[in-house]
Amino acid sequence: MLTAIYPGSFDPVTNGHLDVIGRASRLADRLVVGVLLNSNKNPLFPIEERVEMTREAVKNYSNIEVTSFDGLLVEFAERESAQIIVRGIRAISDYEFELQMALMNRRLKPNLETVFLMASEQYSFVSSRIIKEVARLGGDIGGLVPPSVESHLRARFQRS
């Protein structure tokens, strides 16, 4: 059974993420979406809420699991018996960073492959950071995130 991991902070999950998730789910028997608890970042949503939003967004896929993790990605991949790491690439700047990470991961775990999936055109500009900023300023993010995520964002910024 081929298991792939798609890691990210998913703060929040966007339709760009879901595009990569959907395509990656066709490449593996089992896709684990790993929501990263990164102590170096200050996320808008707590880890439990990010996992919940991501699970809601992928609930129609039978071969996708969503879980949280912290620490080294290669150790998480090993715990999940994954052979592949999936990463989405939007632009050349993404590739430079992702290449460094892929090479380090290969050094740490030589049998773990990284597969890059290009973002679909309609999502190539979408990032969680931009979505949060537009939502914070009251802009329209419809079509860029799942409706449930849009609701979470509206609720979060109404409290602010």
Q: Is 152 a catalytic residue?
A: no
Q: Which of the residues 25, 50, 128, 152 is marked catalytic? A: 128
Q: Which of the residues 79, 90, 106, 156 is marked catalytic? A: 90
Q: Is 127 a catalytic residue?
A: no
Q: Crossing angle for the helix pair 47-57 and 147-159, nearest 10 degrees?
A: 150
What φ, ψ does residue 6 adopt, rounded to 5°?
Answer: -120, 100
Q: Which of the residues 17, 50, 87, 132 is marked catalytic? A: 17
**CA dihedral defined by 83, 17, 23, 91, rounded to 10 degrees?**
-90
Q: Which of the residues 41, 59, 129, 136 is marked catalytic? A: 41
Q: Is 90 a catalytic residue?
A: yes
Q: Is 129 a catalytic residue?
A: no
Q: Active-site residue numbers? A: 17, 41, 90, 128
